[in-house]
């Protein structure tokens, strides 16, 4: 049995999108949704290898820096930085995400910085 409709599905035009129904805090409304307040949180999670863990990419980069003429390189550690823009999250949720998803707690440390 086929679920394909024999009739073409109409595509919404720009004038129809402006009249699209949406749910507002005051019930079902029509028209363009323009929120008055937007609670946007910007956070940066910096993930670095733990100090006791060997960082072979950092060692190789340090040697390459010396090869290119930069003298006095003591150590290089390579990590990652993740920027997050989110609505409606609190700092505890972001810590859980950073610990459980964005970093490997066995070999990496993370630092969460809330920017706005």
Query: CA 86 from chain center: how many Å?
Result: 8
Q: Which residues contact 57 (CB under 8 A, 6 or more apart)?
A: 78
Question: Could you tell me if residue 77 is inside a domain?
Answer: yes
Judged by DSSP in three states, 52 sits in: coil
CATH number, domain containing residue 72: 3.30.1280.10
What is the residue range of 76's domain?
40-114
pLDDT per residue as tens, the chain (116 positions): 445 545 554 444 444 445 555 555 555 555 555 555 556 889 999 999 999 999 999 999 999 999 999 999 999 999 999 999 988 788 999 999 999 999 999 999 999 999 97
Say how many domains are in the chain: 1
Question: Could you tell me if residue 104 is inside a domain?
Answer: yes
Kindly report the pTM of this predicted structure.
0.63
Q: CA-to-CA distance for 103 and 32, rounded, in angstroms?
A: 40
β pairing state of 40-49 and 108-114 = antiparallel
């Amino acid at each position: 049995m086929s679920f394909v409709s024999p009739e073409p599905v109409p595509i919404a035009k720009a004038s129809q999108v402006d009249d699209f129904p949406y749910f507002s805090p005051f019930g079902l409304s029509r028209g363009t949704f323009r929120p008055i307040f937007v609670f946007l949180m910007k956070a940066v999670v910096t993930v670095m290898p733990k100090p006791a863990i060997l960082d072979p990419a950092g060692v190789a980069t340090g040697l390459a820096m010396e090869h290119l003429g930069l003298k006095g390189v003591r150590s290089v550690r390579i990590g990652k930085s993740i920027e997050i823009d989110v609505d409606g999250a609190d700092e505890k949720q972001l810590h859980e995400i950073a610990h459980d998803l964005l970093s490997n707690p066995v070999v990496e440390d993370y630092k969460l910085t809330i920017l706005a």
